[in-house]
Every structure is written in C-alpha cells, then in structure tokens.
Amino acid sequence: MAARQNTTVPKWAPPATTKENLDYIDLVNIDLSKFDDPLSRKELAHEFFSAFTQDGFVTVSGHGISNEVWDAQMDLANATMTMDPAAKVPFEVTPEEDEQGIYVGFKAAGGLGFHKEIDFYNMLLNDPKADRKHPAHLIHHFAETQKVMLHIRDDIQRKFLVLLAMCLEIPEQEMLQTHRAGQSSSEYYRYMSYAPLTPEATLKARGLFMPAHADWGTFSILFSQPVCALQILHKSGVFKWVEYKPYTLVVNVGQALELMTGGVFPATIHRVVTPPPDQVNSLRVGIYYFSRPNDDYSLLPFKNSPVLKKLGKDKPLDPSVTYNTVQFLEAKKHGYLKPDLDFDRPRDPGVHSDPFREGDTFAPTEKLLASIAVKAAT
C-alpha cells in the first residue's frame, strides 16, 4: 500500500517501551507473506490451526500495511482520541443508533457510556448513514483511512478466512460467503485510548481497565501498542502479558467463530490491566478492526467440514437456540454467553487476591472453562 503525505495531523510520539520484566506470552507469528505460495500456504494453515486452537492469539507480520501508513494511522488515532472532550460530543453515538446495534462514532459520555478513561471512535465499514459527519482532521484523511479499513477486510481478513477453510477442509467459497463485503452492519474499525487512572480509581477498579472477557465477532485485529496492558488467559490458568512488537498485528478469536467451529476455535479470554509502573502515566492509543459474519448468517458449525465431524464438533454448541449475527449481538448485550470471570472480586474487603501477583492463577482452568460453557440466555 502506498503511503500518503500526512500534512495536517501532529506526529504521534510513541511512549517509551517498558523496562519491566513482565511475564510475556510466547505467541506464534503468522507471516502472511507466505500466503501466496501454495506450499508455504499449507504450512501457514498448520501454524494457524495449532496457534488458534492452543493460545487463541497470534501476531501477524507480512500484512501489507506499510510502516508509513501505520504511522499515519497512529497519528490520526492519537489526534482523534486527544480531541477536546466538548469537541467530541457532536460525533458521539446517539441513543437511537446504539439501540439499533449501530457501533459508530465516539462512545457516549453520559447515559450509555461510563467513564471516559476508556474512549473510542468507531468507523463502520458499511455505514447506513451516507453523510456521516466526522471530525475535520479525519475527513481530510478519510480516503486513506478507508483504504486501510478495506485492506484489512479484503486482504488480511480474507486470507484468514481462506486459512480457516483449509484448516476445516471446506471449500474456500463456502467460508468467504460468511463475510461478504457490504453484508455486515457491525463490522468496524476503531481508534481507542486508555487514559491513566488516578491511584484511587486504580484501586477501585482493582487494576482492571477492562475485566476478563471474550470478544463477540470472528477475529479481533489490533495494531500492537507500545503501552503494555493486554493480558491473555494462558491455558495454565495464568494471565500473561502481550509484548509490544512494532508494526505487527495481534489477532484473537471471538465468540461468533467459536460457535461456527463447534468450539474448535475458542474465543480467547483476555483483559486490559493497569500498565507497568514505567508506563502507568502514558496514554495508551490503539487501533482495532472487529471482523463480523454477515448480519443474516446463522452461527452454526460448518456442516460439511470433515475436520469438525472427525473431532465430534459438528453439533451446535447451544442446541436450544440458533442466532444469526444480528440476533447474537443483541443477545450478547443482554448477557448471553457472558463468561463469569469476576470471581476475584473481593467478597470481604479484608481479603483480596492480587491479580498481578506472579503465579496467581485466579482459579483452576477447569473452572474457567466451565464458566464459559455455552448456555441459554436467562
């Protein structure tokens, strides 16, 4: 992708990387530059299968986003997230849009939203409002941003879906038609920031910016960030840090894909915590892409996959109900498939397990797995 001269947006200065000795997870890297050659693509599909079914997170290189384009997007993300709070208000999602499941604009400051230490600006791939207003600096650079959004959807996501089809041994077209361009209303690109919390707020939130959760869609694709805060629940039951790898994407599986694969590709449990001491006062700016199946796609395991059959994973995870994507997202809002991971919450103020203590396992993995078992909404 060719870079475009960035003339009006201030340069983002990446915060210094942490010097702390953190317990990092060793993620498999998927090098998408191996995709074009049929032989190395097969190897890649093997790596893809084992990484996603074991850790549920990978890093991705060879993704085709040049360093210049990456930097220009970080400049835009930073400029957007550091706008004056009052200037953000006209671009906030409206209650009506939120009600309709339209994820667009800034998070609302009141009513719908909560505190703004976590803030984001969503841009839809298929915005129902053709004349959507964006902040001026974004309008000026919207064509280049859309190019990045479409590159992620039509190149990176497409390659992921093809690799997935290879893993499940189903025709490529059968997989690709689950994510037809223009058929999802909830696929979006997001600029996001986590502002430092006061020591009091950190204590109150138990050091958690975002408690442990699973994402809702197919794949969540994020630009690796210099401020460390993302942790993944390792299969040993311990949360491990995700290391910053410049110009690398970090990708994880969401619950829609878990349903589509009978649980073979499990949605990964992760959380966002207070950054290490030497980064605790930095603004953590990030860029995300949330991949979603078509609105009307029924989230059931692929019937014709010999792999799912062989593994005995070709049955619906929840036999009591079949949701399409839109219905699933609506059900999620009402607590469907919500993992119960808040068991570290102190019941007694005098007893509080430290979630950051080395070797703290929170709870045995079995308990976690049981807690995320599919169950009907109540």
Point out the residue whose Cβ comes nearest to Fe ion: 215
58: tokens are 């990978």
Distance CA 3, CA 153 (A): 18
Name every residue whose Cβ is closer than 8 Å to that of residue 297 and which is 6 or more positions away in sequence: 178, 324, 325
CB 139 to Fe ion: min, Å: 29
Q: Which is nearer to Fe ion, 210 or 300 (CB)?
A: 210
Q: Which is nearer to Fe ion, 83 or 331 (CB)?
A: 331
Shorter beta-carbon distance to Fe ion: residue 35 or 219: 219
Residue 45, number of CB atoms within 10 A of its CB: 19
Q: Can you tell me the distance from the alpha carbon of 308 to that of 297, in angstroms, rounded to the nearest whole number? A: 19
Instruction: Give the nearer residue to Fe ion in terms of CB position, either 75 or 215.
Output: 215
CB of 151 to Fe ion, least distance (A): 22
Question: Could you tell me the smallest distance in angstroms from the CB atom of residue 127 to Fe ion?
Answer: 23
Residues 115-154 that bind Fe ion (CB under 5 A): none
Nearest CB to Fe ion, comparing residues 215 and 314: 215
* CB 268, min distance to Fe ion, A: 9
Number of residues that bind Fe ion (CB under 5 A): 1
Supply the minimum distance, in Å, between the C-beta of residue 228 and Fe ion.
Answer: 16
The set of residues, in sequence order, having a beta carbon less than 8 Å from that of 232 and lying 6+ positions away, is 25, 55, 56, 57, 239, 240, 242, 252, 268, 269, 270
Residue of 132, 149, 373 lying closest to 263 (CA atoms)? 373
Q: Nearest approach, Cβ of 269 to Fe ion (angstroms)? A: 9
Q: Is 34 helix (H, G, I), strand (E, B) or coil?
A: helix
Question: Is residue 292 classed exposed, middle or buried when 0-12, 13-18 and 19+ CB atoms within 10 A define those classes?
Answer: buried
Show the tokens assigned to 39. Answer: 């032989």
Residue (144 or 215) nearer to Fe ion, CB: 215
Whichever of 35 and 191 has its CB closer to Fe ion, that residue is: 191
Sheet strand arrangement including 219-223: 28-31, 57-61, 249-253, 219-223, 284-290, 188-194, 118-124, 105-106
- Tell me the closest approach of the beta carbon of residue 32 to Fe ion, in angstroms: 22
Question: Which residue in 52, 73, 99, 92 sits closest to 9, CA to CA?
Answer: 73
Q: Torsion angle, CA of 152/54/32/305, rounded to 10 degrees?
A: -80
265: number of Cβ within 10 Å:
24
**Closest by alpha carbon to 27, among 2, 5, 60?**
60
Nearer to Fe ion, 215 or 243 (CB): 215
CB of 80 to Fe ion, least distance (A): 20
Geometric angle at alpha carbon 234, from 231 and 240, rounded to 5°: 35
Give 168 or 214: the residue with its C-beta nearer to Fe ion.
Answer: 214
C-alpha span between 30 and 160 (Å, rounded): 10
Residues 202-261 that bind Fe ion (CB under 5 A): 215
Q: How far is the CB of 271 from Fe ion (least distance, A)?
A: 8
Residues that bind Fe ion (CB under 5 A): 215
